Structure 1
Amino acid sequence: MERRPFGRTGERLSIIGFGGILVDGVTPEQAASLVAEAVDRGINYFDVAPSYGNAQERLGPALRPYRDKVFLACKTLERKRDGARRELEESLRLLQTDRIDLYQLHAMTTGEDFEQAMGPGGALEAIVEAREQGLVRYIGFSAHSEQVALRLLDAFAFDSVLFPVNWVSYLVAGFGKAIMERAEQVGAARLALKALARARLAPGQPRVMEKCWYEPITDREEAAVALRFTLSQPVTAAIPPGEVQLWRWALDTADHFTPVSEDERDRLYRRAEGLVPLFPLPA
């Protein structure tokens, strides 16, 4: 699988990542099988979070045979220094590792998130200290808000930003373009979410897939073009949804990746017309 530079760090990551939510709720044997499959297919980028059910507990033992060959990312929803430190230590324990390659402020969405995490006694202080101690190598954040993402990129030399790069939101609403440009200007790697999302669920509409809180793409051809659209932007990698079927579709597409053509982009735009963009989120 193709690997791309991870910002200014010198690391190179597979263009498809392994979202830890894939192993939430599975048996240890199933988790080990999925991780082995990922490594065999060329994936070296794994991402997980404490909020993904028991994913850390499952991923740690499954990843242990390959730990020195892969790049492991984790996150914290804690906004204060002490809470972030506790959560980091618990993640290290569950993931059975002595360091996390990329530790991220998770789901930075509101002004309050910014003020708490970035202010005195905030979570960023704990992460910087952990980097100094060798527990963390790089520092990033994930965001579903352009405004907050831009503030963060201006406030600290983050190594990466993880955010939605979704064909409908990008083409119809323009969501993500400003983050992409600012991150590129400051040298932060761009990591993509929601490439295989289609639209926002209507109120009361049941989930199509258990681990997708939005309407996912269910047509394989559409999924391939949508993912290729995301990977045609200046991103390092994309993390597919936590559904095994969609993840395997993404692997197959990445094996033969080619950038989208102008004609394909135009067809995607026509398909997106009439769909409700997943982002920006409603106020």
Structure 2
Amino acid sequence: MTSLHDLHRPLGSTGLRVSPLGLGTVKFGRDQGVKYPNGFTIPDDASVRRLLDQARDLGINLIDTAPAYGSSETRLGPLLRGQRQDWVIVSKVGEEFDNGHSHFDFSAAHTRFSVERSLKRLETDVIDLVLVHSDGNDLDALQAGVYDTLAALKAEGKIRGYGLSGKTVAGGLQALASGDCAMVTYNLNEQAERPVLDYAAEHGKAILIKKALASGHACLQDGEDPIQASFRLIFSHPAAASAIVGTINPHHLSHNVSTAAAIIRASV
């Protein structure tokens, strides 16, 4: 069985090592206001547990969640009991999702409240990486108290690293200047944030890729399989530590792993 176990790589200078693919968990807890081409049903606990077991067996050790992902964090806590050492957990602050609508709060008080709540939900003493869940106004969000609070929480040992899941080059660059990581959109359709990857490569900072497959909309490139083309683009950049894939389909997960593994090994 093809796996990613021997392909883990450093997450910038955080001291963490992550698999080149991470498991996104929005579909574990939220089915409203999501931008996927097809509808889906939130899976039950047994199905999620099987998917987590499969991901771990395939060498995936990075799991991406957020308060804005509905019940994702709350479900992951019990499902990951006894496995905490096997996972690098990424969560977020800033965006809340209630009654079908998002709202944002980047204040110091809410940031601390949100991280403390995520620690309880995830049943852990430390979250490996916490990212600011931007509303698109990246620079305004970073100046609202959230970053100073995340730095304090890191100093307190409640998180190991922090950064921004943003939407602009300016936000990504500022987030990396004093933080550990930027999560950027980078795929066959959207490459505007490439300067953030370039900066990260030059300064030893971490990059996580969101929408790696364009939220399921990855387009064909000269007849090439879009998954292959997507991963070839992403992993050709030295800063790309891991691409988050938000699937709940076991076959898709296995195919993504085998495709990414083949491309990374061929490039070594």
TM-score range, shorter chain: 0.7 to 0.9
- Say if 2:241 is the partner of 1:236: yes
Q: CA deviation at 1:63?
A: 1.7
Q: CA deviation at 1:225?
A: 2.2
**Aligned to 1:146, which of 160, 169, 172?**
169
Does structure 1 retain, via aligned residues, the 8 Å contact 2:22–2:63?
A: yes
Give 1:43's aligned amino acid: I
TM-score (ref. length: structure 2): 0.80
Runs of 4+ in 1 over 6 A off after TM superposition: none
Counterpart position of 1:251: 257
Equivalent position SS for 2:230: helix
Q: CA deviation at 1:216?
A: 4.3
- What do residues 8-48 of structure 1 show as CA deviations (whole Å, max 9, x unaligned)? 22321100001122422321212211111111110111111
Equivalent position SS for 1:237: strand
- Say if 2:183 is the partner of 1:162: yes
Counterpart position of 2:193: 176
- What do residues 102-151 of structure 1 show as CA deviations (whole Å, max 9, x unaligned)? 111112621xx4234334xx112221221122111111111111122223
**Aligned to 1:83, which of 101, 110, 131?**
110
Return 5+ residue gaps in structure 1 as ranges.
Answer: 198-211, 262-283
Counterpart position of 2:158: 135
- Give the Cα–Cα distance (whole angstroms) in 1 for the partners of residues 82 and 202 of structure 2: 37
Does structure 1 retain, via aligned residues, the 8 Å contact 2:188–2:218?
A: no
TM-score (ref. length: structure 1): 0.76
- Give the Cα–Cα distance (whole angstroms) in 2 for the partners of residues 52 and 134 of structure 1: 24
**Aligned to 1:23, which of 8, 28, 33?**
28
Structure 1 residues 1-283: aligned runs within 5 Å? 1=4, 2-24=7-29, 25-77=42-94, 78-107=105-134, 109-110=136-137, 113-119=138-144, 122-154=145-177, 156=178, 158-170=179-191, 175-197=192-214, 212=215, 215-216=217-218, 221-234=225-238, 235-244=240-249, 246-258=252-264
Q: CA deviation at 1:243?
A: 4.8
CA change 1:186–1:31 in 2 (3 A) is same
CA change 1:52–1:217 in 2 (3 A) is farther
Q: Highest CA radius of gyration, 1 or 2?
A: 1
Equivalent position SS for 1:249: helix
Counterpart position of 1:270: none
- What do residues 234-277 of structure 1 show as CA deviations (whole Å, max 9, x unaligned)? 2111012345354443122123234788xxxxxxxxxxxxxxxx
- Give the Cα–Cα distance (whole angstroms) in 1 for the partners of residues 196 and 206 of structure 2: 11
Does structure 1 retain, via aligned residues, the 8 Å contact 2:184–2:208?
A: yes
Aligned residues: 236
Structural RMSD (CA): 2.3
Equivalent position SS for 2:84: helix
- Give the Cα–Cα distance (whole angstroms) in 2 for the partners of residues 153 and 56 of structure 1: 26
Equivalent position SS for 1:79: coil
